[in-house]
């Protein structure tokens, strides 16, 4: 990916192709030529003396965003040369290549010490305590000797979620943890606009898993208020029944509202306004006008509710 850097105009990769074509022009008619690339080390063209095919192969090469696997590519190239008396391997790269003495490998390098800002890590995960929430981990690196300011844009499924201003000191590496809420999944893209040596690492992509709809079975004689509350909750699919189904998937929530069910089934069950005794409780009559004297302060359900000193008829 670093061969896409533009510190050598128009890019390091174009420089490498140009040098390969220059080498081709110096070969004798009897010489053979092969082309090996390093992103996923592979032979783009086997040994051949057909100049037109060689030139076309080099011209059609494209730079990728993959890391170079230079050592494996060199091994592959040396196998192609085999035991040829005048065989040699030329490496065109921006990396430092350590060579043994009397090696049949020669190296031409390019590149300058250019400033670059990069997204070096991007990950996302769903929250364990909030099924609609997710966290984004971003690592930003400033590979230059001066500070840089960027506007980091976070988008999901093509929709902009956030714009985060970040100032990076020289040679600084910054890690950010960002929290968002969305039931949707898809491509999470982190990107920023900055004219630096390498544009491809100004953008990174991760995958956010979608939240499947929560299946709810409501057994109730009917309640407009309760049904509207459930319908207002995102990613909830409610099916109302008059009786308890004989079987339910393990992930389904069963809500029993004003039912005469005395044997509460196993699983994810919520009981609202019971009317008969059950295997879990005993009805003990009606309390006239009870007053709330205490409520759980750290319950997320009660964050915006205060019932203390309230009397219920």
Residue 207 backbone dihedrals phi, psi, to 5 degrees: -115, 130
Q: Where are the beta strands (DSSP E) in the chain?
A: 33-37, 42-48, 89-93, 105-109, 116-126, 133-143, 148-156, 159-168, 173-181, 186-191, 203-208, 214-219, 236-241, 253-257, 268-272
Residue 82's pLDDT is: 84
Residue 83 has pLDDT above 80, yes or no: no
Is the pTM higher than 0.85? The answer reads: no
pLDDT one-digit tens code per residue, 43-72: 999 999 999 999 999 999 999 888 889 999
High-pLDDT (> 70) share of the chain, %: 100
Looking at residue 304, its pLDDT comes to 87
Res 102 pLDDT > 80 = no
Can you give the pLDDT at residue 95? 87
Helix 51-59 to helix 12-26 angle (10° resolution) is 170
185-232: per-residue pLDDT in tens? Answer: 999 999 999 988 888 899 999 999 998 888 999 999 989 999 999 988
| Cα separation of the two ends of the chain | 71
């Amino acid at each position: 990916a670093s061969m896409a850097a533009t510190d050598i105009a128009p890019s390091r990769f174009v420089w490498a192709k140009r040098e390969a074509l220059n080498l081709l022009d110096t070969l004798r008619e009897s010489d053979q030529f092969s082309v090996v690339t390093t992103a996923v080390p592979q032979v783009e063209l086997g040994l051949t003396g057909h100049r037109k095919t060689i030139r076309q192969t080099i011209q059609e090469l494209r730079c990728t965003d993959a890391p170079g696997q230079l050592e494996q590519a060199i091994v592959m190239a040396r196998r192609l040369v085999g035991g040829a008396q005048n065989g040699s391997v030329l490496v065109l790269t921006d990396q430092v290549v350590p060579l043994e003495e009397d090696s049949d490998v020669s190296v031409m390098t390019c590149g300058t010490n250019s400033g670059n800002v990069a997204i070096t890590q991007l990950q996302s995960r769903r929250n364990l305590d909030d099924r609609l929430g997710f966290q984004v981990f971003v690592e930003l690196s400033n590979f230059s000797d001066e500070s840089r300011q960027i506007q980091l844009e976070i988008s999901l499924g093509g929709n902009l979620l956030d714009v985060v201003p970040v100032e990076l000191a020289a040679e600084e590496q910054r890690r950010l943890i960002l929290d968002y809420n969305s039931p949707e999944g898809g491509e999470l893209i982190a990107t920023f606009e900055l004219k630096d040596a390498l544009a491809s690492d100004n953008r990174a992509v991760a995958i956010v898993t979608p939240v499947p709809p929560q299946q709810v079975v409501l057994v109730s004689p009917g309640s407009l208020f309760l049904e509207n509350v459930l319908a207002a909750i995102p990613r909830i699919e409610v099916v109302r029944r008059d009786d308890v189904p004989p079987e339910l998937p393990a992930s389904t929530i069963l809500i029993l509202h004003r039912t005469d069910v005395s044997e509460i089934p196993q699983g994810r069950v919520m009981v609202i306004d019971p009317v008969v005794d059950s295997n879990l409780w005993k009805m003990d009559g009606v309390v006239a006008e009870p007053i709330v004297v205490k409520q759980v302060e750290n319950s997320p359900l009660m964050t915006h509710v205060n019932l203390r000193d309230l009397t219920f008829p």
